[in-house]
Amino acid sequence: MRGPEQTFQQMLEDALFEVPYRIAVSVIAEKLSGQGIQLTEHDREQLAEHLKTSDGSAWSSPGAPGDECVRIEITESDTQLIDQRVEQFMAENVPELVITVGERIAEEVFPRLHETWGAEAEIQRVERCGFQERLSGRWGEAVGQLQMLLTVAREFGEFEGALLGGSEASDSPVLAGVLLRLQARACQVTDEIIGLLCAGFSDGAMARWRTLHEIAAVAMLLKEQGESVAQRYVDHDVIESARAARDYDECCERLGYEPMDEVKLADLRRQHQAVVAKYGAGFDQPYGWAADALGVKKPTLRDVRAAAGIDHMRSHYRMASHNVHANPKGLFFKLGLLGDTDVLLAGPSNAGLSEPGQNAAISLTQVCSALGTLQPTMDGLVVLHLMNRMTTDVCAAFHAAGEQLERDSEEEQ
């Protein structure tokens, strides 16, 4: 970005250096004006340069007659006036000067950036390809097994969708529809995690596993609680929509967006009031759909996770949350760094892929198990047993790759 030209800071400092001389020139120009002499812009530039290097010698305007000489005296009051104007400028005009200088250098940098970006992009592409080849050499087997598990999960979702969708005698049509959607979403999130792993973003992959873990907790709890809680879960969409509408309504003006249609807002308020009246005041909470089932007035994800039987993953969930929220732990703890180091990780790394890879396999299989045991068939149970076996292999492969990386790192040190 900088190139050989001046930095923004240097240009700003140069501009501030000019201020006292520019103000002194303006005071001198006012005194000359009183004697009938008007300085041009070129004269002002020349006079400013003369003041910077002045040794007390006279200054001659290039446009003035050769023999004409005008003497002016800079009094103490003039000096005080210059000081006052400099102080006033520094107090009132520096922010504007910063913007002006910033805009000027940005105008210089912008076209150069576009001119040089093609070559820079190619350099980055080659570097990234090399990095991904090395990463694949270390983690490729584990990631490949996770991809194979995902493929089986997608085919299993299609199988269960055909089975549940074609069953008119199902006692839980709402629950079946919700679990199918949760399983499809779990497959998509797992694919996102794989993409992040392949790119070397272990912390990002762990953050996306956080979502996958939440999907698993909800799916497992709904499967256990049955149709009535699934209906509450579906109806809770009104609560989320009303909350989103309120946020939009409060922010749209500042964003420059059009406000929501009043008719739609009024209809949404009526729906909101209706579901709260139907299920009770606690239904308005973020996990209000689970309030009655859990016997908790204001349930949280922690309550849902505990009821689903996967609260033993809460330490991993907290680890994943560090890179979702802007807390200080997220600044100092990185899966992508090996050991204690002061390195600031600003890109991909070949470290830390083990935890998100293993966790993704476990959570994906949990979601599939919730779906597959809703209306179990021999074929479906066989696939679930297969997925459990594959999950064990995936976890072993990621663990082995991580252990080897640590050993290699110790040997290098």
pLDDT in tens, 144-176: 999 999 999 999 999 999 998 755 546 789 999
Place of tokens 């873990």: 213
Mean pLDDT of 190-216: 96
**Residue scoring higher pLDDT (14 or 274):** 274
Residue 307 falls inside a structural domain: yes
CA distance 283 to 280: 6
Residue with the larger pLDDT of the pair 375 and 54: 375
Q: Tokens for 59?
A: 């200054």
The answer to whether residue 36 is domain-embedded is no
C-alpha torsion angle, residues 58, 64, 69, 71 (rounded to 10) = -60
Which residue range(s) make up the domain with 383? 118-412
Contact 248, 260 (CB under 8 A): yes
Which residues have CB under 8 Å from 364's CB, separation 6+?
Answer: 149, 150, 153, 186, 187, 190, 212, 216, 391
pLDDT over 70 for what percent of the chain?
Answer: 92
Two tokens at 240? 């989320």
Task: Report the distance separating Cα 1 and Cα 344, nearest Å.
Answer: 20
Give the mean model confidence (pLDDT) for residues 250-270.
92
Q: CA-CA distances (angstroms) from residue 230 to 32, 179, 182, 223?
A: 87, 9, 12, 8
Residue 183, pLDDT > 90, answer yes
**How far is it, in rounded angstroms, from Cα 392 to Cα 329?**
30
Residue 347 lies in a domain: yes
Alpha-carbon separation of residue 307 from 228, 321, 410 (angstroms): 16, 21, 42
Return the amino acid letter for 10.
Answer: Q
pLDDT at 169: 44
DSSP per-residue string spanning 14-78: HHHHHHHHHHHHHHHHHHHHTTT----HHHHHHHHHHHHT-SS-----TTS-TT--------HHH
Residue 128 lies in a domain: yes
Please, are residues 238 and 275 in contact by the beta-carbon 8 Å criterion? yes
What total number of domains does the chain contain? 1
Quick check: is 79 in a domain?
Answer: no
Highest mean predicted confidence (pLDDT) among 152-166, 309-323, 342-356, 372-386 = 372-386
Distance of alpha carbon 311 from alpha carbon 321, whole angstroms: 15
In a domain, 324, yes or no: yes
Please check the confidence at residue 63 and state whether its pLDDT lies above 80.
no
Average pLDDT, whole number, for the chain? 88
Q: Considering the domain boundaries, does residue 140 fall inside one?
A: yes
User: Is 261 inside any structural domain?
Assistant: yes
Average pLDDT of span 19-37: 85
Predicted local distance difference test score (pLDDT) of residue 132:
92
CB contact at 8 A, 230 and 174: yes
